[in-house]
Amino acid sequence: MLGLNLLVRAGRSLLAGPVADAGWLPTKYYRHLVLEALEENDFPGALNYLKWTDDPVLAQLLILRLRLLAREHDWQRETLQSLLDNGLPEARREKCRALLEKQEKALELLGEYEERARKFCGGRVGPAGS
């Protein structure tokens, strides 16, 4: 009996990824995966499993999380820009420019994630900032 349990567990762990990515599992399972990915701030993972849930509320939750994170990055970008405008030494200016570039890339990526998530809402979410 112990050998059979180990065999079942091994089979389950080996097949979990391919089966989950195929969309063959119950919707509740995918909801759980979306929420788990959101907990870990794994937005690509959440978007991957969101397509199998058919749950606009989860999509709206994802969009809310993305917008909150984008607002934080925007605030950091504004702070870096104001530092650059206030005349820093050249070594610090280069560091600020590099950080500013990373913030802008993060904002762009979050915007792309939001656009992908909006497709699962069925038009229920307004534009960012509204």
- pLDDT of the chain, 130 residues: tens digit per residue: 556 555 445 554 554 556 556 556 778 888 999 999 999 999 999 999 998 888 899 999 999 999 999 999 999 999 999 988 887 788 889 999 999 999 999 999 999 999 999 998 875 555 655 4
| pLDDT value for 45 | 93
Q: Please state, in angstroms and as integers, the Cα–Cα distance from residue 78 to each residue in 15, 71, 88, 123, following that order.
A: 46, 10, 15, 30
pTM listed for this prediction? 0.75
What does the pLDDT read at residue 65?
96
| Cβ burial, residue 91 (10 Å; 0-12/13-18/19+) | exposed
**What whole-number distance in Å separates Cα of residue 83 and Cα of residue 93?**
8
Residue-level pLDDT at 91: 85
